[in-house]
Amino acid sequence: MSAALSEPTLLESSRVISEGGPTPGSHGLEAGPPPPVRHTFRFEEGRVDPDALRVVRKLVAAGFEAYIVGGAVRDLLLGLTPKDFDIATSAPPEDVPRVFRHNCRIIGRRFRLAHVYFAYGGRTYEVATFRRNPGERESAEGDDESEDLLIRSDNAFGIAHEDALRRDFTINALFYDHDHSTILDWTSGMPDVERRIIRTIGQPEVRFREDPVRILRAIKFAARLGFELSDEVYSAIVAHRDDLARAARPRVFEEVLRLLRGGAARRSIWLAWDTGALAVVLPELAAYLDDMESSGDGRALGALDAIDRMTAERGAPPDDAVLLATLLREPIREWTQGARNREEWRASLDEKLAEMGERLAITRRISETLARLYSGEARLRGGRVGGFLATPLGPLALDFAKITAAADDAPATHRAWLDAVQLPVSRGDERTKGAAEDRRPADPRSESRSSDRERPARSAHRAGTRVHRF
């Protein structure tokens, strides 16, 4: 997957300069502050965000501990480009603005975080005070299946090793000190990155019962990074997947979208189906995939493949509305196929989305967006364009139509027609002034409608812009 994992290996290219940390299987959750395993490791200067380093250095100069943490360290080790550089520090939230007097704001009510921003680059860096789990409940308590371990508040400050141990997976609990060329590891995260395996910090049964959304996060990381779920994690997901029904619906909804955004939508959904987690969150889709095994109908997985290709080609995923419409397409199509007219179709659609909304927080606004996308895709499937492409949802319907055409193995002529459809551009674009020609190519299946005209209009769709971020 990455040159970073070729010879020499991570552990060979790093040097352990002090022993400590957890014994195998315990992951450091015993009482007392265990020392970390310190690996001598320095990323090339150009790979670490210079402004993130500025934030860390200013906090350290002010007398606080500060590290680059979490996913950024993991991605750097894998040779990937981190999306964000998060910073953990011993500085209380109220002290961070005193260090960054002109470019810091405090956010959050339940738990306060500092955002340090740099106007010239438009980047914002999250600075979080070290936290801990309010009360550690370990194996003796975790053995009681009747006990409610669901975490409802984690608003407690801590110290560095407690902050590492409260995190979900070992690969996300590494702390990087750039100026001392050191990675601090309390959880055996470095060996797990090397072995490309997903393990929880502590017992997976306890961790998933504390926060069932971690089940979807485990699936996401395994799919996106090409890692394997450890046997213990896989078994715990299967055993506690029903706990997903107890998680907050908006969090589950957001995590489902994240399964689709990372360029590994097909493997993410397949893993969710294979472990049974999908049957809890989206039983309609899980049942469809169950039937797919015997029928050989590969449209749902083919659509997810198309999402992954589009993400790879563009360097960014399609809009959230397109992702959700694609994910729900086959269950919705089965549910509404008996509708005799548009009114019956819309009533069936609303009924099914309301039922799904009990599990995924699908609001009326989202339902309306999906209905318009399904209608727009049907128009394009029939070779019609019209003025709807000039609306904010027009470009999204075009993306959706390209995905469904690939999934349905549509004729090459139709797919080429979709690729040739041009979106309306700004009236102020000098390149289009005076253009009066129809910008649509003729669809071989709809030549009788080729005289339709498309109104030039301002498009709300720009590369990299999410029109509907749910």
pLDDT digits (tens, 9 = 90+) for 436-456: 344 444 444 444 433 333 333
Average pLDDT over residues 360-380: 91
Q: Would you say the C-alpha torsion 313, 314, 316, 317 has a positive or negative sign?
A: negative
* Band (74; pLDDT cuts 50, 70, 90): very high
Task: Flag whether pLDDT at 470 surpasses 80.
Answer: no
373 or 153, which is more confident: 373
Report pLDDT for 371.
93
Residue 151: what pLDDT? 55
Domains 1-196 and 287-449 share a fold: no
- Residue 428, number of CB atoms within 10 A of its CB: 8
Mean pLDDT for the stretch of residues 394-409: 95
State the pLDDT confidence band at 377, using cuts at 50, 70 and 90: very high
Q: Name the band, by pLDDT with cuts 50, 70 and 90, for residue 42.
A: very high
Q: Assess contact for 447 and 373: CB atoms under 8 A.
A: no
pLDDT tens figures, 51-66: 999 999 999 999 999 9
Q: What confidence score (pLDDT) does residue 467 get?
A: 54
Q: For residue 20, name the pLDDT band (cuts at 50, 70, 90).
A: low
Q: What pairing do the DSSP bridges indicate for beta strands 15-18 and 37-40?
A: antiparallel
Per-residue model confidence (pLDDT) at position 5: 44
Residue whose pair of structure tokens reads 């889709």 in the numeric block: 285
Using DSSP, state whether 265 is helix, strand or coil: helix
> What is the average pLDDT across 261-270?
96
CA angle at residue 175 from 231 to 181, to 5 degrees?
A: 125
Q: What is the pLDDT of residue 456?
A: 34
| Average per-residue pLDDT for the chain | 83
Q: What is the CATH number of domain 287-449?
A: 1.10.3090.10
Q: What is the pTM of this model?
A: 0.81
pLDDT, tens digit, 9 for 90 and up, residues 323-358:
999 999 999 999 998 889 999 999 999 999 999 988
CA gyration radius for the chain?
25
- Sign of the C-alpha dihedral computed for residues 427, 430, 432 and 433 taken in this order: positive
- Domain 1-196 homologous superfamily, CATH: Beta Polymerase, domain 2 (3.30.460.10)
Structure confidence at residue 32 (pLDDT):
54
Q: Across residues 250-273, what is the average pLDDT?
A: 96
Going by pLDDT thresholds of 50, 70 and 90, the confidence category of residue 466 is low
- Residues shown for the chain: 470
User: Which amino acid is residue 245, in one-letter code?
Assistant: A
Mean pLDDT (whole number) for 274-296: 89
Q: How confident is the model at residue 13 (pLDDT cuts 50, 70, 90)?
A: low
d(CA 385, CA 239): 49
Tell me the pLDDT band of 99, cut-offs 50, 70 and 90: very high
Banded model confidence at residue 305, pLDDT cuts 50, 70, 90:
very high
Q: Which residue has the higher pLDDT, 255 or 434?
A: 255
In angstroms, rounded to a whole number, what is the distance separating the alpha carbons of residues 428 and 434?
A: 11
**Does 459 have pLDDT greater than 60?**
no
Reported as a single tens digit per residue, the pLDDT across 405-440 is 999 999 999 999 999 988 876 544 444 344 334 444
**pLDDT of 417:** 93
Task: Look up residue 156 and give its two tokens.
Answer: 């407690």
- In sequence order, the 6+-apart residues with CB closer than 8 A to the CB of 81 are 47, 75
Residues tagged active-site: 84, 86, 168
Contacts of 218 (CB under 8 A, 6+ apart): 168, 169, 198, 200, 229, 233, 237
Q: Binning pLDDT at 50, 70 and 90, where does residue 402 land?
A: very high
pLDDT at 293 over 90: no
Residue 12 pLDDT? 55
pLDDT of residue 25: 41
Q: Which two three-digit tokens encode residue 330?
A: 């086959």
pLDDT bin (cut points 50, 70, 90) of residue 397 is very high
Q: Where are the domains of the chain?
A: 1-196, 287-449
Whether pLDDT at 103 is above 50: yes
Residue 383's pLDDT band, with cuts at 50, 70 and 90, is confident
φ, ψ of residue 353 in degrees (nearest 5) = -65, -35
Angle separating helix axes 265-275 and 299-314, nearest 10 degrees? 140
- b (16+ CB within 10 A) / e for 29-46: beeeebebbbbebebeee
Mean pLDDT value of segment 385-396? 86
